[in-house]
Structure 1
Amino acid sequence: MNSSHAPLVADVVVIGGGTGGYSTALRAAALGLDVTLVERDKVGGTCLHRGCVPSKAMLHAAELADGIAEGRDRWGLRSVVESIDWPALVATRDDIVHRNHRGVASHLAQAGVRVVRDTAALGGPRTVRTAGSGTWTARRGIVLATGSRPRALPGPAPDGSRVVTSDDALFAPGLPESVLVLGGGAIGVEYASLHRSFGAHVTLVKAAERIVPLEDAEVSRHLRRGLRGRGIDVREGTRLLDAEVTPDGVRARIVSPRGDTTTLSAARLLVAVGREPVTEGLGLAAAGLGTDARGFVAPADWSRLETSAPGVHVVGDLLPPPSLGLAHASFAEGMLVAEVLAGGAPRPVDYATVPRVTYASPQTAAVGLSEEQARAEGYDVVVGRMPLTAVAKGMVHGRGGLVKVVAERAGRVLGVHLVGPHVSEIIAESQLIVGWDAEAGDVAQHVHPHPTLSEAVGESFLTLAGRGLHQR
């Protein structure tokens, strides 16, 4: 323990150094607060070290492999991927992660954030006990940002090789010849897409009736069609009965919606059935707090993300819905809490306008309500659609895709939904459209560049406004 006689005091103490935690710390320090950030591992959290950043780095490499195949099959480029140098690919990925980590650590140091490498738990509503540095007192408040971990299924435990989770799939040895992916949310779809691009035979099993079930049903169908067109065996409404590790990998029994049982074998089983908050050892009871039935720490005041213990705030994956468990939402939550602790009155996070993206091939991206959600909420809905292949750049890509706009009849835009190549890069304007309550006619006044995929977004709004140029 710390033997110094000086009391350990800060304005703000943050427990957890992932996206939510370090964004809180950086913003609070920028506002003049004295900040201590306690992180038991490396700052950056799951997103930087095991999730968003390394997975997108490898998905970029997968896209390059797909591009070489497209060059050969579609464009007459006599090219081929002779082999994949796995150590070289991993080295590039790790360099990207390392440089990002150095950048975050440097930002924290330059901002004057005190980073303590330690485990921490609440000692009360204003105190944080650490294993090595002592007990800290927070003058303004405490921020809980301990993140999440992959949910487990009954059956063989992850071993980092034959049975893996989304946290360790990227770090498993080599490239498997076949992969069985359990889970058809964004994470499962992305990993299925990645492994297929690298040549694996992939089976994707989803218990729900469709993949990416939180997205618009039409987008889900387009994504399923795109994945199957790439040779991925997508099985929706299918449950895992049991699985066992074999000398060559895994063997699993699944049951179809009709009740048919099938046995599948694969070199690797990848479990991607969601994530759960990490709260054990956090000492919630010391501050009079607990978790809900799903393990989340719910705020008493969503506008401040403050719990029922005054001065104790929560950000990131510890939050239940409507928080989204997305890194960019965590950034916004961290900045909000920092501004609250600095005495400000920031606007609450508008989760309805936070973009949602699946970085598979094809990609999906969305903001706002799906058609089904809008109708269920009682809106008089009109829908505008534009195939990406109806614009020149979509024809160049030649991979299909769709723009779908959901709006009130003679009213505001409620949701924008995209599926196709690179749509993650053109969703940002739709956040402004939905967030600023724009109507189709408002957007139709703005000119989109030609030839681009974004042109299809503009054309969708022209059509809804009765000014369609290439479609009626």
Structure 2
Amino acid sequence: MTQTQVKGRAEHIDETDVVIIGGGTGGYSTALRAAALGLEVVLAERDKVGGTCLHRGCIPSKAMLHAAELVDGIAEARERWGVKASLESVDWQALVATRDDIVARNHRGVEGHLAHAAVEVVHGSAELTGPRSVRIDGYGDVTARRGIVLATGSRPRTPGLAADGTRVVTSDDALFAPGLPDSVLVLGGGAIGVEYASLHRSMGARVTLVEAADRLVPLEDADVSRHLTRGLKKRGIDVRTGARLVEATVLGGGVRATVRTPRGEVRTVEAERLLVAVGRVPVTDGLGLAAAGLAPDRRGYVAPADWSRLETAVPGIHVVGDLLPPPSLGLAHASFAEGLLVAETLAGLRPAPVDYAAVPRVTYSAPQTASVGLTEAQARDAGHEVAVGTMPLTAVAKGMVHGQGGMVKVVTERGGRVLGVHLVGPHVSEMIAESQLIVGWDAEPSDVARHIHAHPTLSEAVGEAFLTLAGRGLHQRA
């Protein structure tokens, strides 16, 4: 690296192998892998390394959802198992302190990994000044010999709604709004909206969940949506699909919203808080794309010209994470894979492209959903002759123990490989890894059926579904 003195810093790096703009999951995973391969790396991050996932999304929300699961367990113990337990109260400050400690420890871990790898982390906004040059506020210009990686992430979409962090909140600030509301209107029935609806219901709030599509988690298999909706309604969540927000007004004590039903009727919903979870948009403002000869597409994404390298039309400029359009999934674990791919590409290796069909998708609500591969509809649309196997979780003993319903659905080519696996129920987020391998390795039902699943476990239902498809079912027939 070429170094000079710059005011406010011990040293400034004029030239390096790789410059990464954005220190979220995609950015820091690229940095760590590139450094491990012997490349010199400068990572520019205007906030904290770890990005949205670590500080405002995945990690704090799952910490809160774990607390919600504990609350739900108290109710189940009392109502189902005869354990005379009751919930006295939720100490919000103690809950927040535990959540923040988990985030802080993870943050220190990421910082430590980057320091150990000798990645030069610079805190400041960065913009492209050319196809191989970046200017970082408060630091200066840096030239990248090998390439530049764009990893600036996304922000919540707020169509016509002004979030104030108290009455109207987004997924970025919902966890940090003051206290626990008595009632919540959640706008958006994708994974994020469903998780927040589930969390607030567990904490005792009256929850209305509004989704414009005709079903929740509309990108998932239709049977997943059906079982999830049934589970949420059973918990007392008012689910309204095919419904659209007409307008929302902030009042002294909350929000009044008007919602148009699928039949054209206009209904009024009042809640202490409106949580907007209608998707996210890429962050490209101030990135200087034009200076490098790039432009976002009409949706705001920076599309690669070569998906096998995640390289844009400008050679040497690569993209990872939420800046990527579909088939990238906007998921943290997909960003990790993209970071590895780009780092290895910049190091001169030939990594395998990311197989987005084999990336698992999880919703951490109660009940949970977890899927990998094609839905039944996608498989049919792709021209496959499809065979489907299903197994209710309550058909196995451990599913009866949990008593939360749910199902396993396997989509295969008739007489051929497994195309997709879809799960709904307790702990399915921990069960999906097996199915990820099944789909990713092009296994057939008979390949899976020869392996024995432990009894009694929820995973038995997965094994039984494959046994049935292989013509060896014990408790059901194909």
- Aligning the two structures, in what range does the TM-score lie when normalised by the shorter sequence? over 0.9
Q: Which residue of 2 aligns with 1:67?
A: 73
TM-score norm. by structure 1 comes to: 0.99
CA RMSD after TM alignment: 1.0
Could you say which residue in structure 2 is the equivalent of 1:227?
Answer: 232
Percent identity reads 76
Q: 1:5 to 1:329 in 2, by over 3 A?
A: closer
Summarize deviations over 1:245-285 as a string: whole Å, max 9, x none. Answer: 00010000000000010011100000000000000000000
> Given that residues 2 and 132 in structure 1 are in contact (C-alpha distance below 8 angstroms), is that contact kept between their aligned partners in structure 2?
no
- Alpha-carbon offset, residue 6 of structure 1: 6.8
1:374 match: 379
Partner of 1:241: 246
- Once the two structures are superposed, what CA deviation does each residue of 1:210-264 show, in whole Å capped at 9, x if it has no partner? 1100000011000000000000000000000000000010000000000010011
Alignment equivalent of 1:2, drawn from 2, 6, 12: 6
Say yes or no: does 1:346 pair with 2:351.
yes
SS of corresponding position for 1:281? coil
Q: Which runs of 5+ in 2 are unaligned?
A: none
1:43 counterpart residue number: 49
- Alignment match, 1:317: 322
Structure 1 distance, partners of 2:396, 2:11, is: 70
Q: CA deviation at 1:470?
A: 1.4
Which residue of structure 2 lines up, in the alignment, with residue 424 of structure 1? 429
Q: Work out the CA distance in 2 between the residues paired with 1:300 and 1:52.
A: 29
State how far apart, in whole Å, the 1-side matches of 2:448 and 2:467 are: 8
Q: 1:292 is matched with which residue? A: 297
Runs of 4+ in structure 1 over 6 Å off: none
Give ranges in structure 1 of 5+ residues lacking alignment.
none
SS of 1:320's equivalent in the other structure is: coil
Name the residue aligned to 1:391: 396
Shift of 1:7: 5.6
Taking a change above 3 Å as real, the CA distance of residues 104 and 5 of structure 1, as seen in their structure-2 partners, is closer
Question: Could you tell me which of 280, 290, 299 is aligned with 1:275?
Answer: 280
Q: 1:186 maps to what in 2? A: 191
* Equivalent residues in 2 for 1:161-180, closer than 5 Å: 161-180=166-185
Matches of 1:5 and 1:286, distance apart in 2: 26
For 2:220 and 2:266, how far apart are their aligned partners in 1?
Answer: 28
The equivalent position to 2:18 in structure 1, one of 12, 29, 45, is 12
Aligned to 1:101: 107
**Correspondences of 1:402-413 after superposition (within 5 Å):** 402-413=407-418
Q: CA deviation at 1:2?
A: 3.0
Is the Cα contact below 8 Å between 2:187 and 2:211 reproduced in 1?
A: yes
| Whole-angstrom distance in 2 between the partners of 1:176 and 1:426 | 33
Paired with 1:212 and 1:333, the residues of 2 have a C-alpha distance of 24
CA contact (8 A) 2:131 2:316 kept: yes
Q: Which amino acid aligns with 1:40?
A: R
Q: Secondary structure at the match of 1:33?
A: coil
User: In the alignment, residue 64 of structure 1 is paired with which amino acid?
Assistant: L
How many residues in Structure 1 have an aligned counterpart in Structure 2? 471
Paired with 2:51 and 2:290, the residues of 1 have a C-alpha distance of 25
Q: Which amino acid aligns with 2:172?
A: D
Alignment of 1:302 onto 2:307: yes
Deviation per residue, 1:314-355 (Å, 9 max, x gap): 000000000000000000000000000000000000000000
Cross-structure match for 1:208:
213
Tell me which amino acid in the other structure corresponds to 1:41. D
Residue pair 1:15, 1:146 contacting (<8 A) in 2 also: yes
User: Aligned equivalents of 1:7 and 1:184: distance in 2?
Assistant: 46
Query: Which amino acid is the alignment partner of residue 413 of structure 2?
Result: E
TM-score scaled by length of structure 2: 0.98
1:119 aligns with 2:125: yes
Change (3 A) 1:463 1:11: same
Superposition pairs of residues 425-464 of structure 1, within 5 angstroms: 425-464=430-469
Deviates more, 1:340-349 or 1:372-381: 372-381
In 1: Cα distance, 2:64 partner to 2:401 partner: 24
3-state SS of the aligned residue for 1:427?
helix
* Contact 2:24/2:152, CA 8 A, preserved across alignment: yes
Whichever residue aligns with residue 308 of structure 2, its letter is: S
Displacement of 1:376: 1.0
Q: Secondary structure at the match of 1:426?
A: helix
- 1:154 deviation in Å? 1.0
Alpha-carbon distance between aligned partners in 2 of 1:191 and 1:69, rounded to the nearest angstrom = 19
2:83 and 2:109 mapped to 1: Cα distance?
39
CA–CA distance in structure 1, aligned partners of residues 365 and 229 of structure 2: 11
8 Å Cα contact 1:426/1:454 also seen in 2: yes
Of 263, 285, 290, which aligns to 2:268?
Answer: 263
CA distance, structure 1, for counterparts of residue 12 and residue 467 of structure 2: 66
2:57 and 2:85 mapped to 1: Cα distance?
31
Q: Distance in 2 between matches of 1:136 and 1:14?
A: 11
Q: Does 1:150 align with 2:156?
A: yes
- Secondary structure of 2:97's counterpart equals helix
CA contact (8 A) 2:6 2:12 kept: no
1:206 touches 1:236 (CA, 8 Å); kept in 2? Answer: yes
| Deviates further, 450-459 or 45-54 | 450-459
Instruction: Render the CA deviation track for 1:132-160: whole Å, top value 9, x for unaligned.
Output: 111001010000000000001213x1111
